Amino acid sequence: MAKVKYIAGKEPHAKEHRMIFRNVDREGWDTSLATYQKEGGYKQLAKALKMEPKAVQEEVKAAGLRGRGGAGFPTGVKWGFVPPNNTKPVYLICNADESEPGTFKDRYIIHQDPHQLIEGLIISAYAVGAHLAYIYIREEFPEGAQILETAIEEARKQKFLGKNVCGTGFELEIYVHRGAGAYICGEETGLIESLEGKRPYPRIKPPYFPAAMGLYLCPTIVNNVESLCHVKHIIDMGADAYGKLGTPRNTGTRILCVSGDVKKPGYYEIQVGKVTMGELINDMCGGMKEGRKLKAVIPGGSSSKILRADEKFTLKQGDKDVEIGIEDIPMDFDSLMACGSMAGSGGVIVIDDSRAISWVLNNLNTFYAHESCGQCTPCREGSAWMKKITDRIVSGNASPEDVDTLESVAYNIDGKTICAFGEACSWPTEAMVAKFRDELIGDTDGKNAKRPVSKETQEAAKNLKSLTT
């Protein structure tokens, strides 16, 4: 039983609305079933089991829950894609591969409140008719995997799992499956391949939509950790009350993970769309570091397109188009999309004026070059070249034309690959070149160099130069 380490000064901010994170960093809380049940744990499961599975699905659909993993797709609608005449077993997979740079919310749910996830998972399995569920957890959470296995064992002893869940005749087993350090396993079809014991090469859609042809070619639902936790709260509150949290079409709460150049990085659970980017950075995160100004924000995990501090965006408010600045963007799915980026996985990376964009981009391109699975040529080759070109730019060994080449490589990946990794790896380059072209060109000759360049990058750039000159 893991005790929660209570951290003073990490009390929720007044603008937060803690629901999923209610017990995170909470004094006296631990991961045991007894503690969870003391506060009404597993009562929602009992409530859900009294409903028809279809009714649970309808409730989640009516609540407007959108997936918290990155795409923001409505969870209830996804569940409805299991073919109605299906005779095969249905599987439910919890995607706990949390690996989008900038995102660290699932870590805290798993390590500090595992039963919340398991209860949400059991209710969801009941709703979609699954009798076997897997939690695919990233390898880098070994303690988390153990905590979950202990929690599952406790739940099994109390008959919340097994052949006869709560005496209703519903049968369910949950197993924890550990990944092995590959980002691509967060992509749902890659995850399924990995769970089948293979290299995680994503499958092409169509025909391999998981809800129809997923794990072992059976209907499979893959949901993010946070999304599954929300299901429990929807059953608790009812769709109507849940739908009143947040804003229409962007309901409920969501956890924003803030990192980078702010005074108080960390996790903040807000009602979706009820907090603006400015409130998040300036109030909740204590503002920028001393003497620093905001330069840009990557608003939804490393793949989301960067927003410049001085950019103007047009949002629809009622019937009118309104022009706003970066600090006025409401933190919700639709607004960030309208601003040309996305809410993604909720990972907000704040960048101040001391950072060179070439350095930021080079860091991300190194990540994507390392994580491309190699199945599709445009992505495998392109991600490696984007890294090499930014190695050269950041170390001041490039020519201004390299910036154009970089951009053209990115546009030759985007939309030309089996899975969305193609977009994920090219969007940072596309957006940073479009919005910081002059700065990148200015960096190519190394005269403006003020950024730290790692030894690996210097070496790589040297080798590259000798190949091309």
Partner 1 sequence: MALKVPADLEKEIDKRITHYPESKRSAVLPVLHEVQSHFGYISEDAVVWVAKKLELEPIRVLEVVTFYPGFRQKPVGKHHIRVCRTLSCAMAGSAELMEEFCKKAKIDRSKVSHHDPIAVSEDGQYSIEFAECLAGCGTGPVCMINDDFHEEVGTDKLEEILKNCD
Residues in the site for partner 1, rule: CB under 8 A? 98-104, 106-107, 132, 138-143, 175, 177-183, 194-200, 215-216, 257-261, 265-267, 302, 347, 349, 351, 355, 360, 363-364, 366-367, 370-371, 373, 452, 454-456
Please provide the size of the chain in residues: 469
The alpha-helical segments, DSSP class H, found in 238-307 are 239-244, 277-278
Using CB atoms within 10 A of its CB, is residue 380 exposed (0-12), middle (13-18) or buried (19+)? middle
Nearer to partner 1, 102 or 382 (CB): 102
70 — phi, psi (to 5°)?
Answer: 165, -45
In 39-54, which positions are buried (b, 16+ CB within 10 angstroms) versus exposed (e)?
eebbebbeebbebebe
CB 297 within 8 A of CB 351: yes
Handedness of CA 85, 215, 140, 119 (dihedral sign): positive
Nearer to partner 1, 61 or 138 (CB): 138
Minimal distance, residue 259 CB to partner 1, in Å: 4
Minimal distance, residue 456 CB to partner 1, in Å: 7
Nearer to partner 1, 107 or 115 (CB): 107
Minimal distance, residue 401 CB to partner 1, in Å: 26
Handedness of CA 194, 197, 202, 207 (dihedral sign): negative
Minimal distance, residue 233 CB to partner 1, in Å: 23
Minimal distance, residue 104 CB to partner 1, in Å: 5
Closest-CA residue to 379 (of 420, 413, 412, 407): 413
Minimal distance, residue 266 CB to partner 1, in Å: 5
Nearer to partner 1, 43 or 177 (CB): 177
Nearer to partner 1, 244 or 289 (CB): 289
In 264-287, which positions are buried (b, 16+ CB within 10 angstroms) versus exposed (e)?
ebbbbbbbbbbbbbebbbbebbee
Nearer to partner 1, 173 or 423 (CB): 173
Minimal distance, residue 423 CB to partner 1, in Å: 18
Nearer to partner 1, 82 or 255 (CB): 255
Q: Could you tell me the CA-to-CA distances from 339 to 142, 158, 277, 344, 458 in Å, in that order? A: 38, 48, 12, 13, 35
CA atoms of 269 and 257, how far apart (whole Å)? 9
